């Protein structure tokens, strides 16, 4: 249904606002301004919920409150600013991260390491500090989280972070491709570039780790190992393509990987954010192996490793953000793989209604749901 456009001031929306550290998400009626010249107003159909939303809710990363979070939005373009050329009203889109396009990593073709990532994605405002949302009392509410704030009926994105998807694609499923799923799949396909016949071990079988497992199967890796402490996740990992699973509570994962791979894996991925597990991920790779870090640890967290165990065998430890993905190229590829049945990420998903958003967060945190998707429109 059409919401009222109050013309000058914008339109009425319903959104989940976090007003204090630790939450909860409160559904409120707010007013959202019109898109600026480079912005795209999107009617949100559904949005994934990602670990980073909880990190921002809990101020583990410094994010201003009150704020509308949500950064895995999918929806239909409602209107566009005057300079927008890539999309028109009616286009189905997935929203992803927004790079600045002007800094040196952006110019070098690595926008996932944009130096303005923090203000653009976590600043709770546009880069110039402005916000577009006001609450019922007329007070500003922080928004533009990952240049979207998708926990609402409408979101203001930017031409730079909307990804057009086919009209017949299952839109309500696709939001998580914009962050968690592309992070895991892209780490394997874009950054590590795991090849056919190679071995990979993934530490942490959540949404990111399991996406890496599926991607490893797509690229033809022949030894795909998942390590976790939750038996149900290990079962799912097997279903999605893991050739071996390790319960790290029951056996030493480093020894187990060395045994399975006869010395060590070609690649490892650390998807837990736990420093002790990073050390295992480094120890589990073979000579010339690469360990990718995708798990978000608390700001300032230290990790440790045996220096000679890295230097002598020529190991590489690499930070990977957003799966080194260019979303406008990579997300359509993942959609096509899903359509062909080769990337069944729908098996990670559980749907919730908008008013169950706090339940979705709880289920995600206690591990009963791997990837919650909130149905909004």
Residue numbers of the site for Zn ion (CB under 5 A)? 50, 52, 99-100, 103, 106, 114, 179
Instruction: Pick the closest to residue 53 from 80, 16, 88 (CA basis).
Output: 16
Task: Name the minimum Å distance from CB 360 to Zn ion.
Answer: 14
Of 72 and 283, CB closest to Zn ion: 72
Return the number of the residue (105 or 303) whose C-beta is nearest Zn ion: 105
Least distance in Å: CB of 268 to Zn ion?
21
Q: Decide whether 145 or 223 has the Cβ nearer to Zn ion.
A: 145
Cα–Cα distance measured from residue 325 to residue 317, given in angstroms and rounded to the nearest whole number: 19
| Minimal distance, residue 103 CB to Zn ion, in Å | 3
In the chain, what is the greatest distance between 2 CA atoms, to the nearest angstrom? 67
Give the residue with the Cβ less far from Zn ion, 100 or 297.
Answer: 100
Burial label for 288, CB within 10 Å (0-12, 13-18, 19+), is: exposed
CB of 248 to Zn ion, least distance (A): 24
Complex with Zn ion: residue 99 or 292, whichever CB lies closer = 99
Rounded distance, CA 173 to CA 319, Å? Answer: 28
Q: Tokens at residue 343, please?
A: 């990337």
Of 31 and 52, CB closest to Zn ion: 52
CA 196, 199, 203 angle in degrees (round to 5)? Answer: 130
Cα 58 from chain centroid (whole Å): 17
Residue 205 vs 246, nearer CB to Zn ion = 205
Compute the C-alpha angle 229/23/42, nearest 5°: 95
Count of Cβ atoms closer than 10 Å to residue 353 Cβ: 11
Provide DSSP, 214-251.
HHHHHTT-SEEEEEES-HHHHHHHHHHT-SEEEETTTS
Q: Closest distance between Zn ion and the C-beta of residue 308, in Å?
A: 35
- Least separation in angstroms between residue 45's CB and Zn ion is 18
Question: In the complex, what is the shortest distance from the CB of residue 117 to Zn ion, in angstroms, rounded to a whole number?
Answer: 7
């Amino acid at each position: 249904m059409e919401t009222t456009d109050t013309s000058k001031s914008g339109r009425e929306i319903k959104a989940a606002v976090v007003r204090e550290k630790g939450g909860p998400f409160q559904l409120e009626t707010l007013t959202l301004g019109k898109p600026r010249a480079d912005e795209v107003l999107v009617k949100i159909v559904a949005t994934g919920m990602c670990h980073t939303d909880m990190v921002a809710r809990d101020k583990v990363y410094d994010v201003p409150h009150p704020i509308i979070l949500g950064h895995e939005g999918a929806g239909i373009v409602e209107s566009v600013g005057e300079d927008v050329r890539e999309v028109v009203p009616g286009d189905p889109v997935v929203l992803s991260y927004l790079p600045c396009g002007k800094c040196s990593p952006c110019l070098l073709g690595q926008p996932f390491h944009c130096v303005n990532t923090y203000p653009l994605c976590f600043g709770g405002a546009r880069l110039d500090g402005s916000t577009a949302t006001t609450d019922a009392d007329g007070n500003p509410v922080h928004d533009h989280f990952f240049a979207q704030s998708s926990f609402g009926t409408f979101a203001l994105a930017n031409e730079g972070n909307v990804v057009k998807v086919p009209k017949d694609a299952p839109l309500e499923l696709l939001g998580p491709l914009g962050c968690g799923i592309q992070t895991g799949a892209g780490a394997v396909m874009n950054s590590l570039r795991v090849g056919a016949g190679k071995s990979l071990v993934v530490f942490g079988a959540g949404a990111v780790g399991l996406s890496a497992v599926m991607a490893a199967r797509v690229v033809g890796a022949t030894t795909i190992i998942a390590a976790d402490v939750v038996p149900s996740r290990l079962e799912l990992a097997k279903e999605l393509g893991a050739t071996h699973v390790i319960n790290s509570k029951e056996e030493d994962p480093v020894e187990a990987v060395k045994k399975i791979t006869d010395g060590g894996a070609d690649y490892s991925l650390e998807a837990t954010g736990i420093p002790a597990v990073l050390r295992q991920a480094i120890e589990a790779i073979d000579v010339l192996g690469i360990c990718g870090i995708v798990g978000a640890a608390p700001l300032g967290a230290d990790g440790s490793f045996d220096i000679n165990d890295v230097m002598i065998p020529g190991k590489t430890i690499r930070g990977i953000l957003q799966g080194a993905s260019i979303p406008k190229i990579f997300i359509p590829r993942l959609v096509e793989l899903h359509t062909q049945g080769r990337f069944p990420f729908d098996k990670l998903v559980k749907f919730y209604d908008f008013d169950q958003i706090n339940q979705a967060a709880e289920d995600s945190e206690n591990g009963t749901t791997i990837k919650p998707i909130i149905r909004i429109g």
